[in-house]
Amino acid sequence: MKALRFKSLAFVLIGTLALVVGLWEISGGGGVNPAVPIAEERASEIAAATASVYVSLRVINAALSAAQEIEVGGSIGVQASAQPFRVLEPVDDTVERVSHVIFAIAAGAALMLVGLGPVASLGLVLLGIGSLGLAAADVSGSSKIQRSSLRAARLGLAFGLALPLVFAGGSWLGERMTQPQWDSAISQLDAVAGEARVLIGEGDDVEIEVEEEAGGLFSWVGDGVSAAGDAMDAVARYRDAVRLFMNEADVLFSSSLTIIGLFVLRMVVLPALLLWGLMALVRRSIA
């Protein structure tokens, strides 16, 4: 009888505390659940990291797009032009697709940042209701109330406390476990992005043409050679950068995939595994 009363009293205390805290945070009080600020800090760090990676990828994308638009033309009787750097288009398309994935990850981190608090508050309310229901079931002996209250308590515990804690813990653990891979991938991406910034700064909307002009044979030949020399000088500014992008395409692709994999590991895989393990322990302990 004493054990029953103590158990019921514990459920009442837990349920009342969880219900009060949850309702207080829903009403705008905030700052009571200690698990939420830790998880929000981790989500903010992930959002900042994804924003940095996204900017680097967009800089590379802009440089590749600018290089592809360069036209080298000439006219000796018939005017013609060519875009010799169109060979970069597959690399450009790949970088653009990767940047879209990074943007989706950044949006997910931002969603976690703004959504963890409300979800945790609702979870605490559900935990409070479930705990009070378990206390009532202990007193009344109703198995139906006990089953439904137990489900509510487990669900509330998962959303109110376990979710923010395992998200923070999983992302922290993933960061510690994968820091060397992260540093290597980021350094490779930053190196290519640095070259892309130089390329963007050296020329925008470059169009080079060699025109035929009247003025005699020697004048025509001299002007043609001079214009061709200017064209070659302008094209040479991009030649080394284009060679770099082609040579580093595999490195750029592998580093981008590594970054995506690390983000998914830190945000989804490890937190999900920790949540599954924690809820398995709770299911065994509260039966």
CA 38 to chain centre: 19
Residue 210 DSSP SS3 = strand
pLDDT band at 206 (very low <50, low <70, confident <90, very high): very low
Give the model's pLDDT for residue 11.
87
Percent of the chain beyond pLDDT 90? 14
| Whether the Cβ atoms of residue 82 and residue 123 lie closer than 8 Å to each other | no
Mean pLDDT of the region 258-267: 90
Q: Is the pLDDT of residue 203 over 60?
A: no
Tokens of 104: 């989706």
Q: Give dist(CA 138, CA 94) in Å, integer.
A: 61
| Whether the Cβ atoms of residue 7 and residue 15 lie closer than 8 Å to each other | no
pTM of the model: 0.73
Mean pLDDT of the region 88-92: 78
Neighbours of 39 (CB within 10 A): 25
Give the model's pLDDT for residue 232.
55
Q: Is the pLDDT of residue 249 over 50?
A: yes
Tokens of 5: 């009363």
| Whether the Cβ atoms of residue 191 and residue 247 lie closer than 8 Å to each other | no
Mean pLDDT of the region 71-98: 64
Give the model's pLDDT for residue 195.
77
Angle at the Cα of 76 (from 74 to 81), degrees rounded to 5?
25
Q: Give dist(CA 85, CA 60) in Å, integer.
A: 15
Give the model's pLDDT for residue 213.
44
Q: Give dist(CA 91, CA 246) in Å, integer.
A: 8
Q: Is the pLDDT of residue 168 over 60?
A: yes
Closest to 7 (Cα-Cα) out of 139, 170, 141: 139
Percent of the chain beyond pLDDT 70? 73
Give the model's pLDDT for residue 70.
64
Q: What is the mean pLDDT of the chain?
A: 77
Q: Is the pLDDT of residue 94 over 90?
A: no
Residues 6+ apart with CB under 8 A from 40: 113, 116, 117, 164
